[in-house]
Chain A
Amino acid sequence: MKILITLLTLFSFIYAAQIDEFAAEVKYLRNYDMAIKTAKEQNKIVMLVVVADYCPWCKKFERKTLKDSTVMTKVNENFVGIVIDKYKDQGTYPEEFLTPVIPVVFFIEPKERKVLTKTVAYMKPDEFIKNMNDAVSLYKVRKK
């Protein structure tokens, strides 16, 4: 049984989509409900990243911004990151996040599932960090 599980894990790794590899690398979740649950437990904000596998700006946003060490540290401290493919993951997340423009990042308050703020399109790490800070500030205000 152990051998079977090991083999299945190995095969799932070999055939993992690029989005799964990216999620594993930056430690983001791939399931919306799990992200909400985890954020509630850890008193963090859900950071929902919506991308698509054909979108070059999304790839650049992942490579240059979301993999940036400062951004990764910031995510780890204050957020529960989740990345979804706009089309391939359709049905697993609320339709309100099916936006025409990608990449888009929603910062979501997990208890009421309300969007605190969002960023649209590619942005550099320093610019994105400002938006993350805004989300944290808004979250603190909401909690009071």
Chain B
Amino acid sequence: MRKILLVLLLSSSLFSASLYTLDNVHSLTLYFSNQTDFLNQDQEAMLKKMLTEKLKNGGFLLEETDAPVFVVKIDALEIEGTQAIHTEVGLGEDVITKRKGKIGTFAYTYLDSQFIEGYSDPYKNTLDSLTLLVDAFINAHKEDNE
């Protein structure tokens, strides 16, 4: 699993642009949602710590008011007897649409997710997956703001 993640990480760093536009995203509010029962409180805290540190090192301010929300979701499902973990990161914010009347709404302006096989070491696999997803987000942000 680690090898697969490493290959994915390397290939994603070769092409770090995302189809989203992350210009001028300077501050974030981290929202963490764990909808599984395989992570204990300590593990959850470690995941939050990893995410916080990575985002801060990526240049984001995390204590600002009305900042876009960096959503991190973890849930699990069983596919033919195999437990799969679904990890997702997204950027949610209020936007003005191009609809008639320029309607405002809350929208995801960045979204990325993974399904991973998780029964062997769910915490480690979740950590690797979220590391990959947050790194991809930071790289995409960096590329858009060069």
User: Which residues of A approach B to under 8 Å, CB–CB?
Assistant: 18, 56-57, 60, 63-64, 122, 124
State whether B98 touches A18 (Cβ < 8 A).
yes
Q: How far is the CA of A101 from the CA of B87 in the complex (A)?
A: 29
Q: How far is the CA of A64 from the CA of B145 in the complex (A)?
A: 10
How far apart are A47's CB and chain B's nearest CB, in angstroms?
22
Q: How far is the CA of A56 from the CA of B108 in the complex (A)?
A: 14
The one of B17, B19, B20, B98 in contact with A124, judged by C-beta atoms closer than 8 angstroms, is B17
User: Which residues of B approach A to under 8 Å, CB–CB?
Assistant: 17, 19-21, 23, 98, 143-144
Q: How far is the CA of A124 from the CA of B16 in the complex (A)?
A: 12
Q: How far is the CA of A64 from the CA of B19 in the complex (A)?
A: 11
Contacts of A56 in B (CB 8 A): 19-20
| Interchain Cβ contacts under 8 Å between A and B, 5 examples | A60-B20, A60-B21, A64-B23, A124-B17, A124-B143
Contacts of A122 in B (CB 8 A): 17, 19
How far apart are A54's CB and chain B's nearest CB, in angstroms?
12
Contacts of B144 in A (CB 8 A): 64
Q: How far is the CA of A124 from the CA of B144 in the complex (A)?
A: 9
Contacts of A124 in B (CB 8 A): 17, 143
State whether A64 touches B98 (Cβ < 8 A).
no
How far apart are A128's CB and chain B's nearest CB, in angstroms?
13
Q: How far is the CA of A132 from the CA of B77 in the complex (A)?
A: 49
Q: How far is the CA of A124 from the CA of B143 in the complex (A)?
A: 9
Contacts of A57 in B (CB 8 A): 19
Contacts of B98 in A (CB 8 A): 18
Q: Which residue of the partner chain B has the closest CB to A123?
A: B17
